[in-house]
Amino acid sequence: MQLERLLQHHGFGTRKGCRSMIRNERVAVNGQTCDDPFAEIDTAGLVFTVDGVDWPYAEFATLMLNKPAGYECSRKPKHHAGVLELLPAPLRERDVQPIGRLDEDTTGLLLITDDGQLNHVLSSAKRKVPKLYLATTKHPLDQAQIDQLLSGVLLADEPEPIAAAGAEIVGENLLRLTLTEGKYHQVKRMVAAVGNRVEALHREAVGELTLPPDLKPGEWRWLTAADLQKLGYTK
């Protein structure tokens, strides 16, 4: 792939702007400065550098973010900052978007991509990809509430009861809940349906992919091939 086209694909601007960056010696390929915009670059295992920052070649930008509270999962946020503002500008220019949404006050694992197929696979209700949440409740939990969540609760505007795929008490006011659907405010509504209330909500995992303990709120990292396998996604 020509170097100027490679930079454009990775969100560094127009073809003309990328050409200028290269000619101004702001770009290095595998550690060597390259000032030829039309140089043909082997993308296999490629790491290129722009203004001293390393970027891996990625046909699709797919990453995880530890979402902090106070951010909307929308490209056009209305009331709070948008979660994409936590990403570098080149990634935003690639038209990445969150896979599903977490509420403004919900924290934890959020997947972001410009891969439409991956987005569809993980968002499809038919796939039943499990999502694991840790909910802090207002009132102490009891086994009766757990039994209700597992057997199914009826939510407004839903024709049939909805059951959690998993539910367990991990603290007096701490509930670990697994869902395979992604309905509006589902965790909060289900907990309310059993007579309790969610005070704080954190997503720990999607599929078998868990939030790394060393990824701090507001930080992101690329997904690896092994991560994608944990999501049950291969091409």
**Number of C-beta neighbours around residue 143 at 10 A:** 8
Q: Are 158 and 221 in contact (CB under 8 A)?
A: no
Catalytic residue among 36, 51, 103, 157: 103
Q: Is-catalytic flag, 103? A: yes
185: Cβ contacts below 8 Å, ≥ 6 apart: 103
Residue 158 gets which letter from DSSP?
Answer: -
Question: Mind giving me the DSSP string for the chain?
Answer: -BHHHHHHHTTS--HHHHHHHHHTT-EEETTEE---TT-B---TT-EEEETTEEEE--SS-EEEEEEPTTEESSSS-SSSEEGGGGS-HHHHHTT-EESS---TT-EEEEEEES-HHHHHHHH-TTT---EEEEEEESS---HHHHHHHHH-B--TT-SS-B--SEEEEEETTEEEEEES---TTHHHHHHHHTT--EEEEEEEEETTEE--TT--TT-EEEPPHHHHHHTT---
Q: Which residues are catalytic?
A: 103
